[in-house]
Amino acid sequence: MSQLSMFFVLALLAQPLLALNPESRISQYGHTVWRVQDGELSGAPTAFAQTSDGYMWIGTRSGLYRFDGLSFTAWRPPAGQHYPTSITSIESLFAAKDGSLWVGTVGGLAHWAGGKLTSISDTASVEAIAEDSEGALWIARGHQHNFTGPICRVTKEKQQCFGASDGIQTAVASSIAVDAQGRFWFGGVGTLLE
């Protein structure tokens, strides 16, 4: 992706920030630092999401962690449930409007809702996830075998992927942004799509 394209994607994602009280010193605010070196996580974070129940979810190359505000807990699927592949490298996370968590792995997509992890079989790495106004999920995928396209729309009923035959001229998609008008922007190698 060119630097200009990346600038526009980042500009679309920009949110207004509130300033700190200029009367207060920065040392008056409490903060804690958690570092990989301190053993809290087994690897560098790759993705973050906060679900409506307040948990912060952190994806790493070696699995998923849940943070409750005090401590990190390695999260494993319940017995009999599993990710799309045995490789647990987390590439992306998305907290949906309904409070559920979508997990993008190197081997596909999984959905954590109501105490159940559902794997959506796939053979491509899920690099980014977003939700449209109708509740459908959109994913940006990396290229792997049995590839049907870099961009997919996922609903409860089906997964529909779009590629070259649909006019998408990129081999992989690595990012998604939704602008203020609800339009989706997809970033790929040297490509920006609306």
1-22 per-position pLDDT tens digit: 566 666 666 566 666 656 666 7
- Most confident range (mean pLDDT) of 20-24, 25-29, 128-132 is 128-132
Torsion sign over Cα 88, 94, 95, 96:
negative
Show Cβ contacts of residue 91 under 8 Å, excluding neighbours closer than 6 positions: 46, 47, 59, 104, 105, 106, 125, 126, 127, 142
Is pLDDT larger for residue 134 or for residue 56?
56
* For the chain, domain boundaries: 3-9+42-193
Q: How far apart are CA 39 and CA 43, in angstroms?
A: 9
Looking at this protein, which amino acid is placed at residue 105?
A: T
Residue 170 has pLDDT above 80, yes or no: no
So what's the pLDDT on residue 58?
A: 93
So what's the pLDDT on residue 71?
A: 82
So what's the pLDDT on residue 102?
A: 93
Contact of 84 with 107, CB cutoff 8 Å: yes
Residue 194 has pLDDT above 60, yes or no: yes
Closest CA to 159 of 170, 146, 171, 177: 146
Architecture of domain 3-9+42-193: 7 Propeller (2.130)
Name the helix (H) or strand (E) containing 6. Answer: helix 3-13
Residue found by looking up tokens 């973050």 in the block: 48
Q: What is the pLDDT of residues 53-104, one digit of tens each?
A: 999 999 998 889 999 888 888 999 999 998 888 777 899 999 999 999 999 9
Q: What is the pTM of this model?
A: 0.75
So what's the pLDDT on residue 55?
A: 92
User: What's the count of helices (H) and strands (E) in the chain, helices before strands?
Assistant: 1, 15
